Amino acid sequence: MLDALRRGTVPAAGLDMFAVGLDRLEGGLGDDLDTAASGGAAFKAVRGEYGAGKTFLARWLGERAKSRGMAVAEVQISETETPLHRLETVYRRLCERLSTPTAAPSAFRPVLDAWLFTLEEDVLASGDIDPSDQAAVDTATESLLERRLSTLNRVAPGYAAGLRGYRRAIGADDTATADGLSAWLAGERHVAASVRRAAGIKGDLDHFLALSFLQGLLGVLRDSGHPGLLLVLDEVETLQRVRSDARTKALNALRQLIDEIDSGRFPGLYLVMTGTPAFYDGRQGVQLLSPLAQRLHTDFTTDARFDNPRAAQVRLPSFDTGRLIALGVRVRDLYAVGSSDPERLRSVVDDAYLNTLASAVAGTFGGRVGIAPRLFLRKLVADVLDRVDQFEDFDPSRHYTLTVARHELTEVEQQAVVTNPDEVDLDD
């Protein structure tokens, strides 16, 4: 976790330690996870300015999903690599980023193998088959496979055929065919024609088949012991930069996903999308497609204290100084656990110093605290805590002055840096 903070990135685990200010959302999001894990489906749109913690929330939610046994995939929407108007690319990235409580990305192949193992285990658990009679086990497993694929046969016969072919290839120790079919099931392009012929399938995944493949994946996850899937579509606001025709198609794909969730097509799916307020409220975003705007509309005119966490859309409040300092306290105390002198570290980097550092970092951005968390944590760990831990005579109050190099900032942070004191907004 500390290594990630040194690099200015969101840690991959242990995020409950850094979850400051999420208490009011915890219940509603937890209910959605429970709905998906019990065979239902749910959707949530998250809005927040840069620095409000949208990516953090997504990964924090992912940890909670995994604690329920669910699989998780975080997909960053990108104009060039993962355009939302081409759902086949979203499905492909989903499979690449798929993780489970026991497998890191990409967990797609381990999930397929767990699915096969579970089929055979369920056959043996029935007690009707002699485990030493491999032919009988294979026949019973094939029969169970067909029963479980009966629904998928109707909506995505190609996916069902790919699963059958994968099982046959594994049984025959045909590694090349198994590898190829696994790739095809994960939406990869350019799978050899000979591999597809072996399973009796044709063509590649396209935009229209992607939702059927998602249905198939949810079934495989369920049968392999994972009751659901948390799918996060992050940085959806990038749609505002694409061509108008592609943007309209992407927004319509979102509308279709929401409607299909409501129709019950995706049991076990919890779809979460994140974006900026400008994306949800501006004419270059959601408002461009009235049906989608209607589905996502939420009243945010009241005091944020009374926001409804069960609404289709929830907002993350921007960081204020109090939350930033509270976050610094948690990171300092976490660091102290492994420090050679925890008491000295807490004494030298006390709450008053954290306040000073937080104010200095926020001042770099003209007092806009919402942009400061990433840089604040990076400076706190790499420039302050590491030095206090390694050098007995280092005192950040005397020996450290905040400096910010342009190349260590993200594009948004660079745009927010104040170079003219007249740009700073002062309170009355």
CA-nearest of 376, 386, 402 to 324 is 376
- Report residues of the chain scoring pLDDT below 70: 51, 418-428
CA-nearest of 61, 85, 55 to 276 is 55
Residue 426: per-residue pLDDT: 40
pLDDT tens digits for range 31-90: 999 999 999 999 999 998 876 788 888 989 999 999 999 999 999 998 888 999 999 999
CA-nearest of 268, 223, 229 to 120 is 223
Delineate the domains of the chain, giving CATH numbers in brackets.
Answer: 22-100+226-315 (3.40.50.300), 108-210 (no CATH), 321-423 (no CATH)
Contact 279, 286 (CB under 8 A): yes
**Which pair of structure tokens corresponds to residue 1?**
């976790």
Q: Strand ranges (DSSP E) for 120-268?
A: 229-234
Pairwise CA distance, residues 214 & 269, whole Å: 9
Residue 414: per-residue pLDDT: 85
Name every residue whose Cβ is closer than 8 Å to that of residue 357 and which is 6 or more positions away in sequence: 328, 376, 379, 380, 384, 396, 402
CB-count exposure of residue 207 (10 Å: 0-12, 13-18, 19+): middle
**Does the CA dihedral 71-77-78-80 come out positive or negative?**
positive
The per-residue b/e assignment along 379-396, b for 16 or more CB within 10 angstroms, e otherwise, is bbbbbbbeebbeeeeeeb
pTM to 2 decimals? 0.85
pLDDT tens digits for range 273-328: 999 999 999 989 999 999 999 999 999 988 888 899 999 999 987 778 888 899 99
CA-nearest of 326, 291, 297, 322 to 312 is 297
CA distances to 120, 152, 328, 347, 390 from 395, rounded to whole Å, are 63, 64, 17, 10, 11
Residue 419: per-residue pLDDT: 61
